[in-house]
Amino acid sequence: MINLETPRKFRAFVNQAHQVAAEMLRPNSRRYDLAEHEYPKELDLLAALVDGLGASGTGSGAGASGVRRTEVDDSKVKNGSNMSSVLSIMEMCWGDVGLLLSMPRQGLGNSAIASVASDEQLRRFEGVWAAMAITEPGCGSDSANIQTTARRDGDHYVIDGEKIFVTAGARCDAVVVWATVDKSLGRAAIKSFVVPKDTPGLTVERVEHKLGIRSSDTATIRLTNCRVPAENLLGSPDVDPDKGFAGVMQTFDNTRPLVAAMAVGCARASLEVTRDLLADAGVEIDYDRSVHLQPAAAATFLQLEADWESAYLLTLQAAWMADNGRPNSLQASMAKAKAGRAANDITLRCVELTGSLGYSEHELLEKWARDSKILDIFEGTQQIQQLIVARRLLGKTSAELK
């Protein structure tokens, strides 16, 4: 049974993550928001610290690269790397989402590798900073419609295509590229490949200017006759029409709770600052009185806090199920959908509640409102998550419910 308290073995680590967020990430948040595309040098030290924690075992699966679905003992409840990762990411994104996304070796591609790579691949790609490339100019939320191709040629695959909105695409060491090995076989032929950035034929076309998470680079990548060793294919090379592309989609079961955790952390930061500003303005939030008996601002704040709590609990549930070897596709999508939408609503309403202070750069509230928007979009949009949840609950296939 899941325990809603932070596991004892993670408490010191979570406190360390919060301290890093308070002393390193948040103080640099505005600086790198304004200096878009400038690399945050402070993150090199932080990434080395996370690597050291992971190597020593005290990090308990810190960061995005910690997620891994392993065999578990059904007779025991386990709090493992997925739970550790979401708890640490919540704290780090309480500091700054963009800077968390800019951390070396903690990209979404790293969580993809950790989720589905073989033990040999884990050893081979250890220490690599990996981005994840899924979206294409003609293919966004419909991952099954990917047009990038991977053609087998001896001991290599030759990859051709264009990928857009690749988080950390310009700074990373390698890119996890989703491509089809046979267009005629549909979604079953979608596979993911680890492509080193120095591979001939891979070029970074441009880096995007964005509404939020400006400290994180978002790139467009082109692959032309890009030859990748066959052993860089993640998971099984076999195409199984009955299984569909569940192998690569398993990545999302581990990464969507991570994005939900980012949203939960960002929203919590907004709520805490808003509570303080309301108190300074003389608005008392009384948890012992009914909402309708309190000032409108206090009543609104209590509603937002309840919305945050539900997103937080769904995120913990999805991570806990992954750690305990239970299918969590439904819960991962529910957590991502709820947390992404809640973070958008909470951060924007916090700007409204605090008036001119919230709208100005005097506080970070307006920045958090901008940053939160992407958390409802990447790793599957709000609409796609709702569609996945509906299919799971109604027992419908993707062909039956579009």
Give residue-wise pLDDT tens across range 276-331: 999 999 999 999 999 999 999 999 999 999 999 999 999 999 999 999 989 999 99
Assess whether 283 and 390 both reside in one domain: yes
| Domain end among 180, 201, 234 | 234
Mean pLDDT score, 375-382? 93
308 located within any domain: yes
Mean pLDDT score, 342-360? 97
Q: SS3 helix, strand, coil % of the chain, rounded to 5?
A: 55, 15, 35
CA–CA distance, 55 with 49 (Å, rounded to integer): 10
Assess whether 208 and 250 both reside in one domain: no
Strongest mean pLDDT among 41-55, 63-77, 215-229: 215-229
Assess whether 273 and 376 both reside in one domain: yes
As a residue count, the chain comes to 402
| Domain end among 63, 89, 124 | 124
Assess whether 267 and 390 both reside in one domain: yes
The answer to which of 39-43, 133-137, 248-252, 259-263 has the lowest mean pLDDT is: 248-252
Assess whether 159 and 270 both reside in one domain: no
pLDDT at 65: 55
Q: How many domains does the chain have?
A: 3
1 located within any domain: no
pLDDT at 27: 97
With cut-offs at 50, 70 and 90, classify the pLDDT of residue 3.
Answer: confident
pLDDT at 61: 46
Q: Is the pLDDT of residue 52 over 80?
A: no
pLDDT at 57: 56
With cut-offs at 50, 70 and 90, classify the pLDDT of residue 186.
Answer: confident
Mean pLDDT score, 332-351? 98
Assess whether 250 and 316 both reside in one domain: yes
pLDDT at 75: 63
Assess whether 213 and 286 both reside in one domain: no
Distance from the Cα of residue 397 to its chain's centroid: 26
Longest dimension (CA), the chain: 73
Give residue-wise pLDDT tens across range 107-157: 889 988 988 889 999 999 999 999 999 999 998 877 778 999 999 999 999
Mean pLDDT score, 85-97? 95
Residue 67's domain is classified under what CATH number?
1.10.540
Q: Would you say 322 and 67 are in contact if contact means Cβ atoms under 8 Å apart?
A: yes
pLDDT at 107: 81
Closest CA to 180 of 129, 142, 221, 218: 142
322 located within any domain: yes
240 located within any domain: no
402 located within any domain: no
pLDDT at 28: 97
Strongest mean pLDDT among 142-146, 252-256, 353-357: 353-357
Assess whether 271 and 311 both reside in one domain: yes
Question: What is the percent of the chain where pLDDT is above 90?
Answer: 73
pLDDT at 338: 98
Assess whether 256 and 377 both reside in one domain: yes
196 located within any domain: yes
Assess whether 271 and 386 both reside in one domain: yes
| Domain end among 101, 124, 147 | 124
Q: How many helices (H) and strands (E) does the chain have?
A: 13, 8
361 located within any domain: yes
Q: Is the pLDDT of residue 225 over 60?
A: yes
Q: Is the pLDDT of residue 390 over 90?
A: yes
Assess whether 267 and 172 both reside in one domain: no
Q: When comparing pLDDT for 364 and 183, which is higher?
A: 364
Q: Would you say 339 and 215 are in contact if contact means Cβ atoms under 8 Å apart?
A: no
**Residues carrying an active site annotation:** 379
Assess whether 136 and 117 both reside in one domain: no
Question: What is the percent of the chain where pLDDT is above 70?
Answer: 92
Q: Which domain holds residue 177?
A: 130-234
Strand partners, 223: 161, 202
CA–CA distance, 298 with 313 (Å, rounded to integer): 23
Residue 134's domain is classified under what CATH number?
2.40.110.10
401 located within any domain: no
Q: In a 10 Å sphere around its CB, with 0-12 CB exposed, 13-18 middle and 19+ buried, how is residue 183 labelled? A: exposed
CA–CA distance, 394 with 387 (Å, rounded to integer): 10
pLDDT at 63: 52
Q: Is the pLDDT of residue 20 over 90?
A: yes
Residue 355's domain is classified under what CATH number?
1.20.140.10
With cut-offs at 50, 70 and 90, classify the pLDDT of residue 49.
Answer: confident
pLDDT at 55: 60
